[in-house]
Chains A and B, each alone.
Chain A
Amino acid sequence: MERAASRREFLKIAGGAAAGLGLGAVVTVRPASATPAEMQEAIRSVIGTARVTPGKVKIELPPLIENGNAVPLTISVDSPMTEAEHVRAVHVFTEKNPQPYVVTFHLGPRAGRARVSTRMRLADSQNVVAICQLSDGSLWSDSAAIVVTLAACLEDGI
């Protein structure tokens, strides 16, 4: 009885220590990450100084993902996709990845439908921003928050 109790005690302490170590590792081994300000800078370097209005674009992203190495991302834009009015490009940025610029999709009237999907990496729980550029030059944006359990970019190489 005495022995069982001490074993339990030991496991409790060991578990606590392991959890503490794990937390410490997450805090100290975090890779160099960008900041929201750097994301703004990246956005400006791509689209210039034009005004961006929220709306029209929609990011479809799971609210919580276990593996940040492959996060399904779908972006759709409310546009008729005709010769006169279509989406020219869709840019995707992240707040805290080491490099905020994720991808640019170039579309046109031949796309028929403004909807694209891919899989992205996320280094941390953060906001993802999509900006679309319409044929009339106007810019629209949407952002989505996501919680990442296992971050990408943390694991070591070979």
Chain B
Amino acid sequence: MASALINVPPKARRGEIIEIKTLISHVMETGFRRTQLGVVIPRNIIRRFVCTYNGTEVFRADLHPAISANPFIVFSTVATESGTLSFQWTGDNGFSVTESADITVE
């Protein structure tokens, strides 16, 4: 089963820009490769990544086959208030993983 790694600073000052790193295990099969018998391996990718901060969307990415296996995404957000950052990856074959991280803003 897929597993995700998230790096969010546990504490931040109000208004500080924090960097968030995410990594999720996924093959990101392009749909362009073939087996040795010449059969096309069907596409299996993560198509969308969304990050919400206390329910408000702060970052979103639309992924395509040219993103490497185990998608690694780094982005930033402003630490506005204490709460939860939630991360969701969705993709082909009903793939859906949700993770969350808490942050304390002083």
Residues of chain A having any CB pair with chain B under 8 Å:
31-32, 69-71, 74, 94, 97-99, 101-108, 110-113, 115-122, 153, 155-158
Contact = CB atoms under 8 A, between A and B. Distances in A.
A117 to B, nearest CB: 4
B71 interface: yes
Nearest to B60: A106
B59 A105 contact: yes
Contact of A116 (B35, B63, B74, B78): B74
Contacts, number: 108
Report the interface size class on chain B: 20 to 34
Nearest to A68: B68
B33 A157 contact: yes
17 contacts: A69-B69, A94-B66, A106-B61, A107-B75, A110-B77, A111-B75, A112-B17, A112-B76, A112-B77, A115-B76, A116-B61, A116-B73, A117-B73, A117-B74, A119-B72, A156-B36, A157-B33
